[in-house]
Amino acid sequence: MAHVAALTAVFPTGSVQRDDRGLGRRIWCTPTGVALEGEARAPKTAVLVPACIACNDLTMSVAGHQTLRVLDGSYVLDRPADVADVDLRADVLAVVFGPDGSTVMRRNDAGEDAWSALWNGDEAHDVQATGMLSAIVAPLGAAGVPVWVVSGFDGDLVLVPADRLDEASGVLQAAGHQVRR
């Protein structure tokens, strides 16, 4: 039963997930548990729990229990014509050099289209740990919360629309993460 509770906490009710064991079946998450493709939509929990362990282990590893800190202020995304003109001392959170130009994430508490930043790098984890970022963005994506992401050596910055920070925090907490402000 614990596996079903953990799985349904990570994957929202009504969502459809791929069976990560490579069997090609889909998993439906329902209020009472999960059902595998080809079986009745009303799940029989005792039968389904073993079938979901591989998926559950993936989502409920260290990646599934992260602590995210909300950074102070609001941030905007800019695409400068020349990144050399950017004052890196002026509350710049990140600069990304992509094949199509540069993007600057900088603090601007009065900016339009403001984003709030969540940071998962306060607690050390192995740089080889898998699924760290996907355990954060998957539930947000399933809830329809847009994200911008930048990863560093120590952790990930996940930006969500500032006016949806409370919603994003609730989604992440329901997925097993802690959100600190």
Scanning 19-175, the segments in alpha helix (DSSP H) are 45-59, 134-142, 165-174
pLDDT at 56 over 60: no
Q: Where are the domains of the chain?
A: 2-60, 67-180
Q: How far apart are CA 5 and CA 27, in angstroms?
A: 14
pLDDT, position 153: 85
Looking at 61-65, 100-104, 158-162, which range is the least confident one? 61-65
pLDDT bin (cut points 50, 70, 90) of residue 145 is very high
Tell the residue number behind the tokens 């059902």, with chain if given: 35
Tally of CA atoms within 13 A in the half-sphere of 124 that contains its CB: 1
CA angle, residues 109, 111, 114, in degrees to nearest 5? 80
Confidence of residue 61 (pLDDT cuts 50, 70, 90): low
In the chain, the percentage of residues whose pLDDT exceeds 90 is: 50
Distance CA 40, CA 125 (A): 40
What pLDDT is stored for residue 99 in this prediction? 93
Q: What's the one-letter identity of residue 5?
A: A
Reported as a single tens digit per residue, the pLDDT across 23-48 is 444 554 544 444 444 444 434 332 23
Distance between CA atoms of 115 and 58, rounded to whole angstroms? 29
* Structure confidence by residue, pLDDT tens digits, 62-73: 687 899 999 999
Classify strands 33-36 and 178-180 as parallel, antiparallel or unpaired: unpaired
What are the residues facing 68 on neighbouring strands?
179
Residues 6+ apart with CB under 8 A from 112: 76
pLDDT at 47: 27
Q: Which pLDDT does position 40 carry in this prediction?
A: 45
56 or 154: whose pLDDT is higher? Answer: 154
Residue 138 pLDDT more than 60?
Answer: yes
> Residue 101: what are its φ and ψ, rounded to 5°?
130, -170
Question: Domain 67-180: which CATH class?
Answer: alpha beta
Cα(104)–Cα(94) distance, integer angstroms: 6
Amino acid 51: pLDDT:
27
